[in-house]
Structure 1
């Protein structure tokens, strides 16, 4: 019994000592959770690191380090010299790039992330409309750690289907694909609030334009990555007037509706290799969540009319997004991959595909079904 007690005491002592050692080790480390890159004068690069530290007096806290250099390696070396902690990138979660840098091309900067074995490919990438340093260094009242806040914000929006997932792995996959281009969320700060207002479109590694958040939702639907989500539409009131309640006092020309997509089946088919031309066929099931007029949705004719109007609006929105893609010569959907698979040997370069996109056409065919109808006010 005495020996057992001695062994137990020794074990507790060892565990306590180990815990103290681990705490002292972490107190000497600065865990970088977010990076920001901005364009300086000439070829100078501005870098911002959000460092998460364990302080024995104040506990966990975030520290901002910023400097300028010609390369990312020199940026980190200089930041290490400035810090009393050893900077570690193993906990990196988010990397932001100023829009000006994104338009010049990101692959060299992203290559520096790939070469660091401590950085995982599931980190999130994003574009900032302002200097990323301004977004990362702003003294937010309610955000203690801007790095983890950005990570949680992106993750939540991805899970809820609000934005297209922007991991390092997905960016590289689409960048190295001959017939597909990456997209990234665009962050904007308004006072104390940070929002993903738009989606950046890339031609290879260079940003060439942006989609609004509503247009990006249609892009996500076309990409067949949108299993659920809401869309707000304006429907022609004249087409629904025969079914409106007599006491409807709304004098607006349009009826506003909110529809939720609850089912999505999509198929893209190459119909003309020379042009090239594609058919985009989609079957969508949707529920009507809100409508700005009093209308009886139990009548079959009302249901058919709403289905037709919603289908027309979705078709116009998708055609508009596809037209913008063609104008910018960017392919975030992957039409080029479908085209490449039709070629003998599957040989296609991005440059070849961008040339062909000038004459590319896509015919949109939607089959939309309204579910769970009822009386909605």
Structure 2
């Protein structure tokens, strides 16, 4: 099979995103036969495994593709269980119900001492980024000085020690180390400056401030929220924590009443994949802070076409400066990607620790 792709403008991340991370081909006849739309059922499949069944939020089962002409896959079936909370997955793994799972960073130190049932711990760097965001459209968060006070009141190392037990380092933005655009340091130091935070709050003129922080119902985030809650109390801000299940949390883009949110996105190994979600057109979709900045949008577009790596680096660093200057972001961490696997599995992983199931072998 051959295909033609017409690229009208230079696009630096073409190979690192479109072809290496999530290659997908939509077959015209199959799509047309499905009415022109692709839903939850695949219109065409290929590869060593085919999806034999799917139950939303319960289980996906992959089975050998009898027509596959490449190297034979190692397993007859692979069952994928969607488990949002890593601690729950760890319990299932230790009970022998799972062969492979991501684990919480808080459990890394324990697993370094030995994985139950002869299992193995594998630690990889991460392309995830975690931050506290503030909705710029909300009436309570219109004051930039207030937002900056919140930035300086949060001591990132303390938050990470409590929630990740020292297994994650502070981040300086949304772009991971090793990529163009990663900043050596942010405009707001990772360490809190309570004196400065209180001065900014006084300058804001805001008093009796009460805010709500929305978080996903996971142990890591509830711990982070409790620590942040105590830190903001030090400068006189009352923080109420709203714990949401997955469905409600990931619909937050539509929530005009959103105030503060603890969020976590992933990215491909190109900085454009991180900045893409914070342009004006994404406001209220994936840009939950409703951050709108013309210079940021211009930098995102220009940097995606810039072939000079030094210039790209400077553009993406400036873009993150603009995010931080808005006061809408407190960057926290890129985490890491620790996984454990049973003694009967030989896993295949990307450099950032994500599973390549088609290449999983038998130990």
TM range (shorter): under 0.3
**TM-score between both structures, scaled by the size of structure 2:** 0.20
The structure with higher relative contact order (CA 8 Å, sep 6+) is 2
**TM-score between both structures, scaled by the size of structure 1:** 0.19
Based on CA coordinates, which of the two structures has the bigger radius of gyration?
1
